[in-house]
Amino acid sequence: MGYTFLDEYMEGIRPKVAEIDVFLKTAQFPVGACCVARALSLCEEEVRAIMANLGIESVMHHDFLQIMHKGSSRICGIYRRELETNSPITYECEDIAYIYNLDINDVKNAFQNLKIHEVTAVTMPLVFAKIPY
C-alpha cells in the first residue's frame, strides 16, 4: 500500500497536536490573536472575529479551547468532531470516519481487514495504516 492515513496522521496531525499541547503548557496567558492563530493554523482575522464573538480582547487558557472549537482549520475540525463524539474510550469505524473526515467505506474496509469492531486511541494507528490516503 502507498501513502496511508497513518502517514498523514504522523506527518500532519500528530505534530500539530503536540505543538498545541506544548503551547497550552508553556504559553504565558493571556495571549493575543496572533499567537492563537499561529498555534491553530488559522488566519489572525478569523481569530479576532471569534474573540469578538466571545466578547474577549485577550485569550486565556479556556478561551483558547473555545476558539479551537469554533475555528475552521483542519486541527480545529478534528477537535470539534472529537468533542461531538464525546471522546469515546473505544472508537467504532463511524467515529473514526467522522472525526478524521475519512471515507466511511475505507474505514470499514480497514476494520474488516483487521477483523475488529472497535479500537482505542492507542490502537487506532493500526486502522490508519490500512486506510489509503
Q: pLDDT category, 123, cuts 50, 70, 90?
A: very high
pTM of the model: 0.94
The whole-number average pLDDT for the span 77-88 is 96
User: CB under 8 Å to 74, separation ≥6 — which residues?
Assistant: 12, 13, 41
The whole-number average pLDDT for the span 76-96 is 96
Helical packing angle, 74-84 and 93-100, nearest 10°: 150
pLDDT value, residue 1: 66
Positive/negative CA dihedral, 107, 111, 112, 114: positive
The whole-number average pLDDT for the span 104-124 is 96
- Cα angle: 34, vertex 39, 44; to 5 degrees: 30
pLDDT tens, position by position, 15-26? 999 999 999 999
pLDDT value, residue 121: 92
Query: Rg of the Cα trace of the chain?
Result: 17
Whose grid coordinates read 494507528? 125
Residue-range domain boundaries for the chain = 5-73, 93-128
pLDDT tens, position by position, 36-57? 999 999 999 999 999 999 999 9
The whole-number average pLDDT for the span 94-99 is 98
Which residue, 69, 71, 120, 111, is CA-closest to 91? 120
Q: Is the pLDDT of residue 67 over 70?
A: yes
The whole-number average pLDDT for the span 74-96 is 97
The whole-number average pLDDT for the span 59-68 is 96
Percentage of residues in the chain having pLDDT higher than 70: 99
Q: What residue type is 29 in one-letter code? A: F
